[in-house]
Structure 1
Amino acid sequence: MERVNPATGEALESMESDGETGIEDALATSEEAFESWRDVPLGEREELLANAADVLRENSEEYAEVMTEEMGKPIAAARSEVEKCAWVCEYYAEHASEHLQDERIGTEPGVDSFVSYEPLGPILAVMPWNFPFWQVFRFAAPHLTSGNVGLLKHASNVPGCAEAIEEVFHEAGYPDGVFQTLLVGSDAVDDIIEDDRLKAVTLTGSEPAGRAVAETAGAQIKKTVLELGGSDPFVVLDDADVEAAAATGARARTINSGQSCIAAKRFIVVEDVYDEFVEAFVEEMNALTVGDPRDDVDLGPQAREDLLADLHDQVERSVEAGATVELGGEPLDRDGFFYPPTVLTDVPRDAAVATEEVFGPVAPIFEVAGEAEAIALTNDTDLGLGGSVWTEGRERGKRVAREIESGAVFVNELTKSDPRLPFGGIGDSGYGRELGEMGIHEFVNRKTVWVQDAEMPEDEPAGE
């Protein structure tokens, strides 16, 4: 696998891919590992997960550096990502027993009836490059602990991160085969999904990739969870704290150099506070620093040269359609794949930055007459991952949040994932949930068990 440092454009040492033999060996190993791993007491699995949290923290700098080198994440953000991975490990190490305990359901006198949560087997995780550790750990922490085993097909530009993650589980004491990394291209995914030994698949990535995985898995009647793209609204109502909204909005648009599914991507502002918000927001965006991700900067490079080109093409097409550039708008003239914080106003509703997911630090701002138009524009998308609403009215915030069609809405806060809360989208943003109690239940058999005395009454009805 060829790698490029996005901060310099220079090639990194390539890494050898796994061929067909490697894939076969991994599948065979995962099937064998599952037969013993599923019988390991849950308490022991929780202890191993707590060990993984310790390994992450002990090697935080090493793991942060490989993220920064491979995909350009600012080093401070990379350290924070490692810490968040440790957090999700600790969460499930503490709560997995609670989430997976038998759920007793009363039916008849003398009958013990309950739902048992039991693992499925080997699960394939197809993961993206933008949060190369976090995306994997939010899959692995719950689903390995529930008794499944994992196979990771990571993005091709972060193979070093993929191997480092496998090392975490090895160092934590997990048995061989419980978590394996496959260094393969996307062309190998269909064959892996179609293999009878694989029982389910989860993907975080683009809408086309999600459709392809769902089609293949559906033909095999295999469970899938998809977390796809987003075009999250950031709604500023007429009673909002504009200064706070502008400050948080700039951060919400530029986290991970703007390369986040749940970044704020469409700023929808009521006309009464529009001018005030634009002025404050441009000032906040302009104050952000862009540079070498190894330094103390707010934004690093875009992860690949082609992604930089795609981003700038969206800006150029939007400007041609009538948008006004208030800030930025051109790639930086330096080595690497750097794009500055960019703000666009007067954006036509059918412009590229209005209708396509924008994966970079570009913020289109839309002026609306009032709350009703804000909600209508918010929901004028096939994507439904997250959203943010800004208002001084707590009850108003709750009401508007209920009217936004997405998997999550945050009031007076940026959209974020949290190990304690379910995370996922609707529409073309995918289906299923990760994290929290709902997340750990995605890849288990919710088995109904009915236990009564051996002698069954003669007049007991049977059948469906």
Structure 2
Amino acid sequence: MEFSQQDTISPIDGRVYVSRSLASEQQAYACLTKAANAFNGGTASWKNVPLAERKALCQQAIELLCSQKDEIAQELSWMMGRPIRYCASELVGVAERSEYMIGICEEALATLRLEDKPGFTRFIKREPLGVVLVIAPWNYPYLTAINAIIPALLAGNCVILKHSAQTPLCAERLYQAFRGAGLPEGVFQYLHLSHVNTVKLIRHKLINYLAFTGSVDGGSKVEVAAAGRFIGVGLELGGKDPAYVRADANIDSAVAALVDGAFFNSGQSCCAVERIYVHANVYDQFVAKAVALTLQYRLGRSDELDTTLGPLVRSSAADFVREQIAEAIEQGAKAHIDEALFPLSQKGTTYLAPQIMTRVDHTMRVMTQESFGPVVGVMKVSDDNQAIALMNDSDFGLTASIFTQDIEAGLALGERVETGTLFLNRCDYLDPALAWTGIKQSGRGCSLSQLGFEQLTRPKSFHIKHN
């Protein structure tokens, strides 16, 4: 059954926070036609607007968006449950990533001039693809969207944004910012869409590229919908990101980084740390310090300033993590956090206490299946080889981290880890100068960095003979 309206249920109190009408199939196609016309509109088309002007418009749009950080922070807190004290920081990341991409776009989009060859001129231009459909998730709704939107627009593409039903106001805020900056009509648009009409849009011949961020299941459905279209499909999917704490690591630094990496945003991040391997020599020390730090979290309503751990997005998501924990305990795992110390944590609600588990192994779902919640398993290992083997024993490969004071050894180990990003002595961070990419079920393609522009352009070779 198709619905004409979507309701956003706030994880804070279970009430409807915002409702929006869904676009019909005809409205979606009208939006697509407008985007295609804005791209192909002759000399007035977006792809023919000078790059300097596209840069200025994008910069102005981001400034307009960030000027509303207080209102946006409130909306984020209510829509997806992040503690209000952390919400504005997402816009800091948006500004950082946007400024970087705006700063490098001339180099990234420059014509590639080849060496001289007598009697010939040869070069390769990077041309925009056309209409880019961006499908963004709720957990980092501005950051994940901006990763594709800004480079797509800078490259001369037109963009349609389909945001998660959990965070529809993000799409509207972005649209208002780009329109306020003066982007021509049709260059950036958004649609609130049902799943059925989203699939129909993906299949439409006027869509030239698809940037999807979401679950593995969602990515699989997107691939099926795009099959036979022969268009680029960027997939940023899930993770079960590992960390290894070597015997020579700075334990206090490792604990601080990894506890935050596991529990920030209530663990609802594709690159959250979900499994930790610790050398036997420092294992007991690491676990004791990690438990002590975790007990300092305050679980509460995300609109309260002293809350440091907010609710999960849905009660079903929280209960899924509870099931993983309960199942692991039945299989012999030990839970170190007494849930009673976090009174709001109750089955059937969105509120879930953070949990650190030991005596875990890879027969347990909590160590192999993406949790997307505030739980992390910690395993004792005897040496580097065992740690690397366990880190690679996963269907995912988004990020991985190694904590060691021996940088050379850490780099050598990092070469053996099957991952898109390898961190040394940090975790859970996106540097816009580096490619954001994954392997295995974490997806394919990349965003950010200079390489991200290559996903959103096509090469066109010119071979000229001089008579």
Shared fold, TM over 0.5: yes
Q: Name the CA distance, whole Å, in 2 between partners of 1:61 and 1:246.
A: 31
In the alignment, is the contact (CA less than 8 A) between 2:316 and 2:348 conserved in 1? no
AA aligned to 2:270 is C
Show CA shifts across 1:427-460 (max 9, x none). Answer: 111111100100111110111222231x3xxxxx
Tell me whether 1:8 sits opposite 2:39 in the alignment.
Answer: no
Q: CA deviation at 1:101?
A: 0.6
Tell me whether 1:401 sits opposite 2:401 in the alignment.
Answer: no
Q: Name the CA distance, whole Å, in 1 between partners of 2:142 and 2:260.
A: 21
Q: Name the CA distance, whole Å, in 1 between partners of 2:441 and 2:311.
A: 28
Tell me whether 1:249 sits opposite 2:252 in the alignment.
Answer: no
Q: Which runs of 5+ in 1 are unaligned?
A: 456-464
Which of 26, 34, 40 in structure 2 is aligned with 1:21?
26
- Comparing 332-341 with 225-234, which one deviates more in the overlay? 332-341
Q: Which residue of 2 aligns with 1:377?
A: 390
Q: CA deviation at 1:90?
A: 1.5
Show CA shifts across 1:274-325 (max 9, x none). Answer: 1010001111111122212221322111011221121111111111121111
In the alignment, is the contact (CA less than 8 A) between 1:9 and 1:335 conserved in 2? no
- Comparing 185-194 with 397-406, which one deviates more in the overlay? 185-194
Q: CA deviation at 1:329?
A: 5.2
Tell me whether 1:165 sits opposite 2:178 in the alignment.
Answer: no
Tell me whether 1:326 sits opposite 2:331 in the alignment.
Answer: no
Q: Name the CA distance, whole Å, in 2 between partners of 1:392 and 1:333.
A: 41
In the alignment, is the contact (CA less than 8 A) between 1:50 and 1:90 conserved in 2? yes
Q: CA deviation at 1:399?
A: 0.7
Q: Which residue of 2 aligns with 1:301?
A: 311
In the alignment, is the contact (CA less than 8 A) between 1:138 and 1:434 conserved in 2? yes
Q: Matches of residues 36-435 of structure 1 in structure 2 within 5 Å? A: 36-106=45-115, 108-294=117-303, 295-328=305-338, 332-333=345-346, 337-435=350-448
Q: Are residues 320 and 329 of structure 1, via their aligned partners in 2, closer, same or farther at CA, if it must alter by over 3 Å?
A: farther
Q: Which runs of 5+ in 2 are unaligned?
A: 1-5
Q: Name the CA distance, whole Å, in 1 between partners of 2:84 and 2:431.
A: 21
Show CA shifts across 1:63-101 (max 9, x none). Answer: 121111111112232101012112222222222111111
Show CA shifts across 1:404-440 (max 9, x none). Answer: 1000010001131122111010111111110010011
SS at match of 2:133: strand
Q: CA deviation at 1:107?
A: 5.6
Q: Name the CA distance, whole Å, in 2 between partners of 1:264 and 1:61.
A: 29
Show CA shifts across 1:215-263 (max 9, x none). Answer: 2223211111111100110110111111110111110101211100001
In the alignment, is the contact (CA less than 8 A) between 1:328 and 1:343 conserved in 2? no
AA aligned to 1:86 is A
Show CA shifts across 1:183-221 (max 9, x none). Answer: 012222221111111111111111111112122223211
- Comparing 19-28 with 289-298, which one deviates more in the overlay? 289-298
AA aligned to 1:440 is F
Q: Name the CA distance, whole Å, in 2 between partners of 1:28 and 1:142.
A: 21
AA aligned to 1:263 is A
In the alignment, is the contact (CA less than 8 A) between 1:420 and 1:435 conserved in 2? yes
Q: Name the CA distance, whole Å, in 2 between partners of 1:358 and 1:13.
A: 27
Q: Name the CA distance, whole Å, in 2 between partners of 1:342 and 1:68.
A: 22
Q: Which residue of 2 aligns with 1:460?
A: none
SS at match of 2:190: strand
In the alignment, is the contact (CA less than 8 A) between 1:103 and 1:116 conserved in 2? yes
Q: Are residues 417 and 49 of structure 1, via their aligned partners in 2, closer, same or farther at CA, if it must alter by over 3 Å?
A: same
Q: Name the CA distance, whole Å, in 2 between partners of 1:269 and 1:171.
A: 51
In the alignment, is the contact (CA less than 8 A) between 1:53 and 1:87 conserved in 2? no
In the alignment, is the contact (CA less than 8 A) between 2:236 and 2:444 conserved in 1? yes
Tell me whether 1:440 sits opposite 2:453 in the alignment.
Answer: yes
Q: Name the CA distance, whole Å, in 2 between partners of 1:34 and 1:327.
A: 55
Q: CA deviation at 1:374?
A: 0.2
Q: Are residues 113 and 76 of structure 1, via their aligned partners in 2, closer, same or farther at CA, if it must alter by over 3 Å?
A: farther
Q: Name the CA distance, whole Å, in 1 between partners of 2:182 and 2:328.
A: 52
Q: Are residues 333 and 354 of structure 1, via their aligned partners in 2, closer, same or farther at CA, if it must alter by over 3 Å?
A: closer
Q: Which residue of 1 aligns with 2:3?
A: none
AA aligned to 1:28 is T
- Comparing 377-386 with 147-156, which one deviates more in the overlay? 147-156
In the alignment, is the contact (CA less than 8 A) between 2:278 and 2:380 conserved in 1? yes
Q: CA RMSD in A?
A: 1.5
Q: Are residues 410 and 89 of structure 1, via their aligned partners in 2, closer, same or farther at CA, if it must alter by over 3 Å?
A: same
Q: Name the CA distance, whole Å, in 2 between partners of 1:271 and 1:446.
A: 51
Q: CA deviation at 1:11?
A: 2.0
Q: What is the number of residues matched between the two proteins?
A: 454
In the alignment, is the contact (CA less than 8 A) between 1:321 and 1:348 conserved in 2? no
SS at match of 1:219: coil
SS at match of 1:33: helix
SS at match of 1:38: helix
In the alignment, is the contact (CA less than 8 A) between 1:52 and 1:86 conserved in 2? no
Q: Which residue of 2 aligns with 1:34?
A: 39
Q: Name the CA distance, whole Å, in 2 between partners of 1:174 and 1:128.
A: 24
> Percent identity among equivalent residues?
32
Q: CA deviation at 1:361?
A: 0.8
